[in-house]
Amino acid sequence: MTNPVSTSETLDCILSHRSIRRFKPEPIDVDIIHKLVDAARFASTSNHLQCVSIIRVTDPQLREQLMTYCSNQEYVKSAPEFWVFCVDFQKHKQICPQAQLDYIEVLQIGAVDTGIMAQNVLLGAESLGLGGVFIGSLRNAMAEAGELLKLPQHTLPMLGLCLGYPDQDPPLKPRLPQDSLFFENEYRPLDESILAQYNAEVADYYRERSGIDMDWSRNVIKSLARPVRPQVLDYLHKQGFAKK
């Protein structure tokens, strides 16, 4: 009898994920867009709060401006679709004016729900032959992006998503082995020998893909050994979040 896990199309899709940054000019059919919005709508959500909204950006001038906010990543402008996923407690404030939205936990709920919804959309897109890439650099200019998209208080632009039909076939990026992230009963620190082997694997990937000298440890240091978007906190407070 065939093991159903070994033949799952869903798992095959998940395990073949690559970020796509070059797209064919072919537009995405409106019926597919509606299906992807439904994939978003039916994502898991904490306490049924459904505290995420999506802004589909079709105006070329807005796309151009957003590209400048996103480290000038050209595909923000050129991808057939660019969606911005927003934490959205504005609708909840309308329903419940006394809602206490300034607690850190509210922001955590919104951030978790946003990530779940965005991943649902990308996985659904990939299952239909599309590709995409998340744009976290949207938070480089979070306040400016929020103003551009006319976001009211109690909302936040958390990440973007480029979607389209792939015009490239990049290799899979190596991931940490299971023993480094999946534990039983208690946490285990990172094993140095496993880390060394993984660094070598990632270095080979970057060398073959981009001709650059980089491994995972150096990427972590590059990303985290400095202030990480310190300007975000003021915007969170302005929007009514993370005050206590």
What is the CATH classification number for the domain harbouring 82?
A: 3.40.109.10
- Does the structure show a pLDDT above 70 at 199? yes
Q: Whole-angstrom Cα distance, residue 59 to residue 68?
A: 15
Q: Are residues 125 and 212 located together in one domain of the fold?
A: no
Q: Are residues 32 and 153 located together in one domain of the fold?
A: yes
Query: Whole domain around residue 188: which residue ranges?
Result: 171-226
Average pLDDT over residues 113-140: 98
Average pLDDT over residues 212-233: 97
Q: Are residues 22 and 135 located together in one domain of the fold?
A: yes
How many domains does the chain fold into?
2
Q: For position 90, what pLDDT does the model report?
A: 98
Is position 63 within any domain?
yes
pTM score, whole prediction: 0.95
The DSSP result for 137-185, as a single string, is: GGGGGHHHHHHHTT--TTEEEEEEEEEE-BS--PPPPP---GGGT--SS
Is position 240 within any domain?
no
Q: Are residues 38 and 103 located together in one domain of the fold?
A: yes
Name which residue leads in pLDDT, 6 or 136. 136
Name which residue leads in pLDDT, 124 or 1. 124
Q: For position 170, what pLDDT does the model report?
A: 94
Q: For position 6, what pLDDT does the model report?
A: 64
- Does the structure show a pLDDT above 90 at 5? no
- Does the structure show a pLDDT above 60 at 47? yes
Q: Whole-angstrom Cα distance, residue 198 to residue 210?
A: 18
Average pLDDT over residues 131-143: 98
144-191 pLDDT tens trace: 999 999 999 999 999 999 999 999 999 999 999 999 999 999 999 999
Q: Are residues 146 and 29 located together in one domain of the fold?
A: yes
Q: Whole-angstrom Cα distance, residue 210 to residue 194?
A: 24
**Per-residue confidence at 118, pLDDT binned at 50, 70, 90?**
very high
Q: For position 4, what pLDDT does the model report?
A: 57
User: In DSSP terms, which residues pair with 91 in a beta bridge?
Assistant: none
Q: Are residues 163 and 177 located together in one domain of the fold?
A: no
**Per-residue confidence at 139, pLDDT binned at 50, 70, 90?**
very high
Q: For position 87, what pLDDT does the model report?
A: 98
Q: Whole-angstrom Cα distance, residue 72 to residue 66?
A: 8
